[in-house]
Structure 1
Amino acid sequence: MNSSEQNPLQQKVIKRRIAHLDMDAFYASVALLRYPELRGLPVVIAGCDKHKPVLQADGNRHFFRLREYAGRGVITTATYEARAAGVFSGMGIMKAAQLAPDTILLPVDFSAYRHYSRLFKTAVTSIAPQIENMGIDEIYIDLSDLPDDTITLAQQIKQTVHKSVRLSCSIGIAPNKLLAKICSDLKKPDGITILDAVDIPDRIWPLPVNKINGIGPKATQKLARLGITTIAELACAELSLLQTYFGRSYAIWLHEASRGIDHRPVITHTEPKSISRETTFDRDLHPHHDRAILSKSFTALCVQVGEDLKRKGYTGRTISIKLRFEDFHTITRDITLTTYVTDPVQIRHAAGKCLKRIPLSRKVRLLGVKVSTLSSIHTLQDAEVSSVQRELPLIM
């Protein structure tokens, strides 16, 4: 691109400082806190409780290896040593076992992940309170109003996170969320990347298009067929061409994203629309022969959703279930109750009614339970108090 094409970027003055903080291999790193003897070894998180380490008679632990795994499933995350062997999150476990059979396998532990997630986010708010929760292991932070210089803030945040959870994180700081998200991935693990708008041509445009969050595998393939593989090539593409193949709204977003344009604010508080849990079974379960396993899993999901509701301070009226069958066909059913519930027994009863509306003639691959039409427990309590006060007689 010539200098005249770069001028709009260089002239655009954006005073915002937005950070994206991403914990490094979070699930695996949390597991290594419990099993420090595995540091420096290839480790993946996947599977279930049956793959928990076993304490042997000699006091040492036996850790399962990928070569011992049988069944399906995908890698949740992997240590950087496992990634060096070609094993990545989202990869099928059996494929990973072929690539690195001696890699250590640990089960997921969501209660531990949630615990450490709360700790590191609380630590960050002690320095920079304007954060947007993006998931269990990542947040956006608005640093715009803080007086310290950018590198000092980044170092303080990293040190505070490490002190609170003994884990490392990577931080990208840029004029907006889109660029900050890209930057946090450029120096992993334990890195800091700071980017200004004028740096976009040299540091962002050479990257592949899928580095932009929101350009998935299908869009990447479609762009490649148009001869567009880098962000620079996407920035050069005519908007009319993109509209022809992607539609107006997505084309405009691609056009702006490739130029580093993103005006989204950091949203410090959002109300969840639903709370759900689901599980994919190691093998397809027969609705009759494996009824006991399905029933136990169904009840466990309802209990977990109920606990999530109480922990987050919400209650809900709409109960939904999701079933994915052996042929990958997925069916959902829901029921809306007249009262709000958090009790697992009530959730299980309503979910059971939904289940009766699905013909169970095929083996089940996945089962899920969701509660929506949510309301804050405190909001309901305030409403109840106001209602009672209105009904009380006026005493002179």
Structure 2
Amino acid sequence: MISFAALPDREWPLFSHEARRIAHLDMDAFYASVELLRYPELRGQPVVIGGRSVDQPVLQPDGTRRFAKLRDYTGRGVVTTSTYEARALGVFSAMGLMKAAQLAPDAILLPVDFDAYRHYSRLFKIAVAGIAPHIEDRGIDEIYIDLSEQPEDTSSLARRIKQSVRDATGLSCSIGVAPNKLLAKICSDLEKPDGTTILSIADIPGRIWPLPVRKINGIGPKANGKLEALGIRTIEELARVKPELLQEHFGRSYAAWLLNVAQGIDDRSVVTRSEPKSISRETTFERDLHARHDRQSLSGIFTALCERIAEDLRRKGYVGRTIGVKLRYADFQIVTRDLTLPAPTAEAASIRQAAGECLRRVPLEQRFRLLGVRVSALSRPDEPHGEPDFFQTELPFAD
């Protein structure tokens, strides 16, 4: 077994944090699991969630349901999530549904239901907060929990949290507990589904170092490819590499981060509340659209995006001053533009007007496949600000 002494001239400052107990809780195949609560007859089958215009299940006269099959899907939708049975066939999130149909043509295809997913998300987070309230919300299906002040031993505490989630939702989750957030997140994925992994500093050589570097949150496909080109595939190999080599290929800051995370070093705290930097909405079309030929359709889509952002802002209690748009052309090239207003707003009409100004600065001769609107520079509405001062102009695809 590798020993810490195998890394000369490297210190392990994480020992000072051994008393910390940070948990990462990740719901198992969350969207798919929620759907299986609704359609229990699909348990054990490959099920894919995603796409647009997917038919809802149909209740038949004999009391059974007829479900859409992946083989029958036509369009450019993507997989939102899939059951573990579908994943075993090579179908994963963000994959195009047409490609997924080649791998698992007989898989069941269900439409997304974000209202249901948000409902179960609230339920599981409330259940965890009843036991361990120091929680950092990381999204609809995952949280960090600081267990350091809890008197209960780690194993029984993890079991109690998992059981509370199951009691509240009927769903399973996986938990990783470690001295920091970096290791906890890695651990929560080691024994899925319904797993519990507890890691100490002494376990790093045996449990963490043999893993591929892509298991580290923050090493994406591009960085992973560069590391592989350097012959660095495992976390142990990354931990052993000379700093000069990483600095040459990644720069001083990212190289230092790579060396730290390879050794399990992470000083980040569990943040119980954070302010969002921006709020955005975007949509991918079933077919490529053109600003002139599809003006009416685009106008409705554009207005709906702005209205949904305005609703998000009001619901979350924010106003925003910088409005931006995002387009992805048919060749997948992405272009963005933004505009800073004299004063912040949460009104749909004001957001649409400003976003329209951004669109006037975007080349619209070619067709595009995605349109998005974003509001940033957020603040609370009770903060002092002046009145917006907009001027009227014709939008590229206004009615």
TM-score, reference length from structure 1: 0.90
> What letter corresponds to residue 12 of structure 1 in structure 2?
F
Q: Could you tell me which residue of structure 1 aligns to residue 389 of structure 2?
A: none
Structure 1 stretch 206-215 or stretch 46-55: which is displaced more? 46-55
CA contact (8 A) 1:10 1:198 kept: no
Q: 2:179 aligns with which of 175, 179, 196?
A: 175
| C-alpha distance 11-87 of structure 1, shift in aligned 2 (>3 A) | closer
CA shift, 1:329, in A, is 2.3
Partner SS for 2:197: strand
> What letter corresponds to residue 295 of structure 1 in structure 2?
S
CA distance in 1, matches of 2:309, 2:269: 30
CA shift, 1:238, in A, is 1.1
Q: Could you tell me which residue of structure 2 aligns to residue 231 of structure 1?
A: 235
1:327 aligns with 2:328: no
Partner SS for 1:189: coil
Runs of 4+ deviating beyond 6 Å = none
| C-alpha distance 154-224 of structure 1, shift in aligned 2 (>3 A) | same
| C-alpha distance 363-10 of structure 1, shift in aligned 2 (>3 A) | closer
Q: Could you tell me which residue of structure 1 aligns to residue 261 of structure 2?
A: 257
Q: Could you tell me which residue of structure 2 aligns to residue 12 of structure 1?
A: 15
Q: Could you tell me which residue of structure 2 aligns to residue 287 of structure 1?
A: 291
> What letter corresponds to residue 212 of structure 1 in structure 2?
I
CA shift, 1:196, in A, is 0.1
- The structure whose residues are more often helix, as a share, is 1
Partner SS for 1:116: helix
CA contact (8 A) 1:320 1:335 kept: yes
> What letter corresponds to residue 101 of structure 1 in structure 2?
P
CA distance in 1, matches of 2:197, 2:352: 47
CA shift, 1:2, in A, is 4.8
Structure 2, unaligned runs of 5 or more: 386-399
Identity of aligned residues (%): 65
CA distance in 2, matches of 1:335, 1:86: 42
Structure 1 stretch 2-11 or stretch 311-320: which is displaced more? 2-11
Q: Could you tell me which residue of structure 1 aligns to residue 127 of structure 2?
A: 123
> What letter corresponds to residue 4 of structure 1 in structure 2?
A
CA shift, 1:9, in A, is 5.1
CA distance in 2, matches of 1:372, 1:25: 31
CA contact (8 A) 1:9 1:197 kept: no
TM-score, reference length from structure 2: 0.90
Cα deviation digits, residues 294-335 of structure 1 (max 9, x gap): 222212211221221122121222221111111222222223
Q: Could you tell me which residue of structure 2 aligns to residue 391 of structure 1?
A: none
Q: 1:369 aligns with which of 358, 368, 373?
A: 373
Q: Could you tell me which residue of structure 1 aligns to residue 104 of structure 2?
A: 100
| C-alpha distance 49-376 of structure 1, shift in aligned 2 (>3 A) | farther
Structure 1, unaligned runs of 5 or more: 385-396
Q: How well do the aligned residues superpose, as a CA RMSD in angstroms?
A: 2.1
| C-alpha distance 242-353 of structure 1, shift in aligned 2 (>3 A) | closer
CA contact (8 A) 1:10 1:197 kept: no
- Match runs of 1:60-139 below 5 Å: 60-139=64-143
| C-alpha distance 295-58 of structure 1, shift in aligned 2 (>3 A) | farther
Q: Could you tell me which residue of structure 2 aligns to residue 392 of structure 1?
A: none
Q: Could you tell me which residue of structure 2 aligns to residue 43 of structure 1?
A: 47
CA contact (8 A) 2:3 2:205 kept: no
Partner SS for 2:175: strand
CA distance in 1, matches of 2:62, 2:349: 43
Partner SS for 2:376: strand
